[in-house]
Chains A and B, each alone.
Chain A
Amino acid sequence: AQSVTQPDIHITVSEGASLELRCNYSYGATPYLFWYVQSPGQGLQLLLKYFSGDTLVQGIKGFEAEFKRSQSSFNLRKPSVHWSDAAEYFCAVGARGAGSYQLTFGKGTKLSVIP
């Protein structure tokens, strides 16, 4: 079974600063990987996803993530944070093949942005 760890429960950054949110996964092969964002009072919005190919994935809102097989990581980055990025971010891993519907979520990282 797959698992996901988001080591940081809460991160605070200044507006305009760079951001990196960490995600480590456990899975026996190359998984499907996702980042979702949940703004206050909102549902989950898909930021980006990795299935194969280029290990650097571009998403919406200026976010990107890099899949590093050797480190079992899929960290989310943004070069310059905006106040509207304050939200909770969830990394998720999906199995390949017959179990591809099974998503396992991390516990989330809450991002606060200081003006």
Chain B
Amino acid sequence: DADVTQTPRNRITKTGKRIMLECSQTKGHDRMYWYRQDPGLGLRLIYYSFDVKDINKGEISDGYSVSRQAQAKFSLSLESAIPNQTALYFCATSAPGSPQETQYFGPGTRLLVL
């Protein structure tokens, strides 16, 4: 079974709708991240969380919110979706306190906002 899972894998929604993307992990990592990927732009960090009570904005947090329900679960919400939020969204996890901090990624959620 995959260590980092994301649901749904694909989602089509309409402008103005609220949607939630979910991420779960079985790696036991404290740190979790949400990225978006756009063609030609690489990955950009939206939000990150060091533990359940520690949530931080990343490079492009406007229009997004997150919830860390448990160590293993980190959800990304689009309060009112707009077409330029059409992208591939990745969740990632890492273990803190190590000099070799490596991020492990989920399979991604492809979102289309009409």
Q: Which residues of A contact B (CB under 8 A)?
A: 9, 32, 34, 36, 42-46, 49, 51, 90, 94, 96, 100-103, 105-108
Cβ–Cβ contact A43 & B101, under 8 A: no
Given contacts A94-B101, A100-B101, is CB(A43)–CB(B42) below 8 Å?
no
Given contacts A42-B107, A43-B106, A43-B107, is CB(A108)–CB(B100) below 8 Å?
no
Given contacts A9-B40, A44-B90, is CB(A100)–CB(B99) below 8 Å?
yes
What separation, in Å, do the CA atoms of A96 and B107 have in the docked complex?
Answer: 27
Cβ–Cβ contact A101 & B94, under 8 A: yes
Residues of chain B at interface, number, CB under 8 A:
25
Cβ–Cβ contact A107 & B48, under 8 A: no
B43 beta carbon closer than 8 Å to chain A: yes
Cβ–Cβ contact A44 & B99, under 8 A: no
Given contacts A44-B90, A101-B48, is CB(A107)–CB(B101) below 8 Å?
no
Nearest CB of B to A39, in Å: 11
Cβ–Cβ contact B31 & A101, under 8 A: yes
A-B contact pairs, 22 of them (CB 8 A): A32-B101, A34-B102, A42-B107, A43-B90, A43-B108, A44-B105, A45-B105, A46-B102, A49-B100, A49-B102, A51-B99, A51-B100, A90-B43, A96-B99, A100-B99, A101-B33, A101-B48, A101-B96, A105-B42, A106-B42, A107-B41, A107-B42
What separation, in Å, do the CA atoms of A36 and B108 have in the docked complex?
Answer: 14
Given contacts A42-B107, A100-B99, A101-B96, 13 further A-B contacts (CB under 8 A): A36-B105, A43-B90, A43-B105, A43-B106, A44-B105, A49-B100, A49-B102, A90-B42, A101-B50, A103-B45, A105-B43, A108-B40, A108-B42
